[in-house]
Chain A
Amino acid sequence: MKKLLNALPVLMMVAILAACGSNNGAASTPAPTNNTAAEGSEAEVKAPVKTELKMALTVDPDGLDPHRTTAASTFQITNNIYDTLVKVSLDGEFVPGLAEEWKVSEDGLTIAFKLREGVKFHNGREMTAEDVKFSFERLKGEESPRAGDFANIVSITAVDHYNIEFVTKALDVALVSQFAYPWTAIVPEEAAEQLRNNPVGTGPFKLEQWVPQQQIVLTRNNDYFTPAKLEKVSFIMMPDATSQITALQSGELDIISVSGDAVPQFENNSDYSIIETQANAVQVMAMNLDNEALSDARVRQAINYAVDKQALIDTVWWGYGQEIGSHYPPMLKEYLDTNEAIIYDPEKAKQLLEEAGYAQGLTLEMYLPSSYPNYVAAGQVIADQLKKVGLTINIHTVEWGFWLSDVYTGRKYDLTVTGHTGRLDPYALLARYHSESKENYMNYKNERVDEILTQVQQERDEQQRLELYQELQQILAEDVPALYIQSPIGLTVTAANVAGYQSYPIDIYEMKDVYFTN
């Protein structure tokens, strides 16, 4: 007994010491942060306006190299570290970024940019046309997952230090939008190898520290042409929603994203502001037209008639979502309200099923991605509503990796609930409905849709394009290769003294304009 009592604490001490020792040895990445110390001294000096902001994230980004990933989690952050030639305004207009102005040639095949002069990378070197050329070549390179998107650019010429020209092979009527996405960031060649963990850009903030699963700290780039108001932005990794709310309430965080059920905790409370933003995204229940029954438009329509969308949105998203009738988010200017095309009517659903020869019922397999609890919940509500018109739905909740490989790319499913994020160019959102698109996981085929999608790419008249896009929305609303559920409303809660935080039509966190009022 005595030996034992002696041995246990020793063992534990050894374990602790070993751990501490190795931790110190491994602390090669970060310089220690002293947030608490800084806050303390500030309070003493009575400098009341905070300049350090903390925002919660649920997951780490997939690296900070914008040319080597497609993950939204990366671009939400890298947008603050790097710049693009063109930026997008709150209402979706294209405004100067690193390029002061640009000009598209008569034939629409060439675009020329004049760069802002005197812009410096975080390493102190000036950014020139050569860096732009290098960045786009890197983006078109073999290791770039977006290379295909930029294959249409066939030549890049740096005319001089501050002028650069891009030549495209086929006409792209929305060419300028291609230079506004956060993955078209301009990077310096000398730092390119290390960008994943050591990003170097020209942006308003530079990376100070990234401790995976703990935090990402950005500090202000004082050389930026319109310097940010905050000195420091920390993204704190907090996977659990309740923890985030507790941390916001105790003042440890300044900004968090919440789901609808958390709103009542902050509503009518002057300590917080709730920001509602219409997302550039749609959430749908896709149907696989390879299934014989689902290839019949009447069955698909019946499924649409059978689901009470408003009830679904109220149950799953606590009412924070806008009902849609087609694959298009209401926030974009080409949007056409197609909600009238099919209005909830279970009787009509039964009748259509009978006409299609499924009066005796039909069994369908529904796959739901477990990492998206909202999609799982939505699928369950839908399945329940479909049961009432005589359909049997077998629900399979699957892991995200399985969903991606077997359901999404493998197209082995009947029904699945998922979301699609919009781009700046409407074509990118709708292109998956082309019968030959590799992203057409619904196996949808409609000749007129193919025609429209081919035609709209060559149409230089904006009014004509608008009409084509609206016709396409109408076709989808009637032919329903999916049950179009809603365009989600994003909910952000900030401490009341946070101002200037706004949401953009692309998925980014723009921290440059954020500041504290006291």
Chain B
Amino acid sequence: MVKYTINRLLSGVVVLFVISWITFFVLTVIPGDAALLSLGTDATPERLEALRESMGLNQPWYERYFSWLTHFLAGDWGNSLFFGEEVLTLIMQRLMITVSLAVFSLLLAIPVAAIIGILSAIYQDKWIDRLARTVMQLGDAIPQFWLALIFLVFFSGKLGWFPVPGFIPVEEGWWRSIQSLLLPSIVVAIGLVGYLIRIIRSSMLSALEQDFMLMTRVNGLSSAQAVFKYALRSAVIAPVTTILMQLAGLLAGTVLVESIFALPGVGRLLLVAVEQRDVILLQGTVMFITGVVVCVNFLADILYRVINPMIQFGGERNA
């Protein structure tokens, strides 16, 4: 277990390093840089030259990468070229909003998906199952930005049930702050429900089909007892991993919703970083998100083992 943990941690560091290199390299290769984007149609060769010089973009890319890397390793994430502010500050300002959005939408999506998913597995091909499949397809088919716009105009604009777009900081009251995230959370949740139902349903189905389920019936357990005591326990593994990965994915994946609801989250920060070719900001944000994904992955593996000790880790038996 210890050896496994160390291995996983080491590979996480390698992943971070490789990703940082790729991001930097890709941004150097694609056309346009921060100086050009800042000048726009006012760009003349002299102006470009002057601005590149002052932004330090004239050094070769490997020198810039190395300089970024050494600073980063020393804990200095640098200042955004576009905002002028420290990258870490910018990320932290946005993190709470994005994490809240992700957590709220999962809190909304999980119970709904769990109930529908479990029932549709138990009552396979009955009406509840057909309903579940319809929900899945709807969830997959509805474009998120469209749903966001419709909800915004209808629930926020016409009915006034939710506050208008924009994030209300916690200083102005916890409840108001949560309210301002509610409608976007519902939109994200609807996108998640279909996917979660599918995972839960199929995971439950395969659990129900396993040999030990037959044994529980032979041993005289009622159908409900069997489901709750054994099937669920075995079925829960795949969804947990999925949910954790979704949580990590949502850190960067809610950019559309963040834009429409004018929420200053991590996704929009990432978007600006790419649009403005803000290499320093992009590096920092990508490192942060990758770091979270690596950690969550790691956590998911550990959880896997906690939930189901049957899973063995490679090499451990010899250790």
Contact = CB atoms under 8 A, between A and B. Distances in A.
Interface of A: 1, 3-4, 7, 11-12, 15-16, 19-20, 22-23, 25-29, 32, 34-37, 60, 62-63, 69-71, 142-148, 196-197, 211-214, 236-240, 242-243, 246-247, 249-250, 252, 371, 399-402, 404-406, 408-409, 418, 420, 438-439
A49 B100 CA distance: 37
Given A36-B172, A146-B47, 8 more contacts: A20-B170, A22-B92, A26-B88, A70-B39, A70-B40, A213-B269, A237-B262, A246-B164
B160 A250 contact: yes
Interface-central residue, A147, A148, A243, by most chain B CB under 10 Å: A243
A371 B275 CA distance: 10
Interface in B237-273: 240, 259-262, 264, 268-269, 272
Contact of B84 (A4, A23, A196): A196
18 contacts: A1-B232, A16-B103, A26-B89, A26-B92, A36-B176, A62-B82, A145-B39, A145-B42, A145-B51, A148-B46, A237-B262, A238-B165, A243-B260, A250-B157, A400-B275, A401-B277, A404-B36, A409-B43
B154 to A, nearest CB: 10
Contact of A401 (B30, B41, B85, B157): B30
A71 B157 CA distance: 33
A123 to B, nearest CB: 19
A143 B82 CA distance: 15
A250 B236 contact: no
Contacts of B306: 3-4, 7
Contact of A212 (B85, B107, B165): B85
Contact of A250 (B37, B85, B96, B164): B164
Contacts of A418: 41
B166 A212 contact: no
Interface-central residue, B100, B166, B167, B169, by most chain A CB under 10 Å: B166
B95 A213 contact: no
B75 interface: no
Interface string B299-319: 100010011000000000000
Contact of B152 (A16, A19, A37, A246): A246
B99 interface: yes
Contacts of B90: 212
B166 A238 contact: yes
B216 interface: no
A243 B30 contact: no
Contacts of A19: 95-96, 99-100
Contacts of A246: 152-153, 156-157, 164-165
A404 B43 contact: yes
Contacts of A34: 171-172
B93 interface: yes
A154 B156 CA distance: 58
B31 A401 contact: yes
Nearest to A196: B84
A480 to B, nearest CB: 20
Contacts of B37: 400-401, 404
A405 B264 contact: no
B303 A7 contact: yes
Interface residues of B, number: 70
B30 to A, nearest CB: 7
A452 to B, nearest CB: 21
Interface in B73-127: 82-85, 88-90, 92-96, 99-100, 103, 107
A243 B261 contact: yes
Interface string B15-54: 0000000000000001111001111111111111011011
B233 interface: yes
A57 B82 CA distance: 17
Contacts of B214: none
Interface of B: 30-33, 36-48, 50-51, 53-54, 82-85, 88-90, 92-96, 99-100, 103, 107, 149, 152-153, 156-157, 160, 164-167, 169-172, 176, 232-233, 236, 240, 259-262, 264, 268-269, 272, 275, 277, 299, 303, 306-307
Contacts of A16: 96, 99-100, 103
A227 to B, nearest CB: 29
Contacts of A4: 236, 240, 303, 306-307
A36 B172 CA distance: 8
A493 to B, nearest CB: 15
A407 to B, nearest CB: 9
Contact of B42 (A70, A240, A399): A70
What are the 9 A-B residue pairs with the smallest beta carbon separation, nearest first? Answer: A401-B32, A243-B165, A213-B264, A26-B92, A19-B96, A405-B31, A143-B54, A70-B42, A246-B157
Contacts of A70: 38-40, 42, 47
Contacts of A400: 32, 37, 275
B83 to A, nearest CB: 5
Interface-central residue, A15, A27, A143, A148, by most chain B CB under 10 Å: A15
A109 B36 CA distance: 33
A22 B95 contact: yes
Contact of A238 (B33, B85, B95, B262): B262
Contact of A247 (B39, B166, B269): B166
A144 B50 CA distance: 7
A422 B270 CA distance: 33
Interface-central residue, B33, B38, B232, B306, by most chain A CB under 10 Å: B38
Contacts of B169: 32
Nearest to B46: A148
B165 to A, nearest CB: 4
Contacts of B45: 409, 438
Nearest to A144: B50
B152 A62 contact: no
B307 A3 contact: yes
A60 B264 CA distance: 12
B36 A405 contact: yes
Given A70-B38, A212-B85, A406-B31, A240 B277 contact: no
Contact of B171 (A22, A32, A239, A242): A32
Contacts of B88: 26
B31 A143 contact: no
Contacts of A214: 167, 264
Nearest to A32: B171
A242 B153 contact: yes
B300 to A, nearest CB: 11
Given A142-B53, A147-B50, A405-B32, A212 B83 contact: yes
B65 to A, nearest CB: 19
B36 A401 contact: yes
A418 to B, nearest CB: 7
Given A16-B99, A23-B95, A71 B164 contact: no
Nearest to A240: B260
B157 A404 contact: no
A236 B307 contact: no
Contacts of B307: 1, 3-4
Contacts of B53: 142-143
Given A60-B83, A143-B50, A247-B164, A240 B262 contact: yes
A143 B90 CA distance: 25
Nearest to A249: B157
A414 B274 CA distance: 27
A313 B8 CA distance: 59
Contacts of B262: 236-240, 243
B292 to A, nearest CB: 10
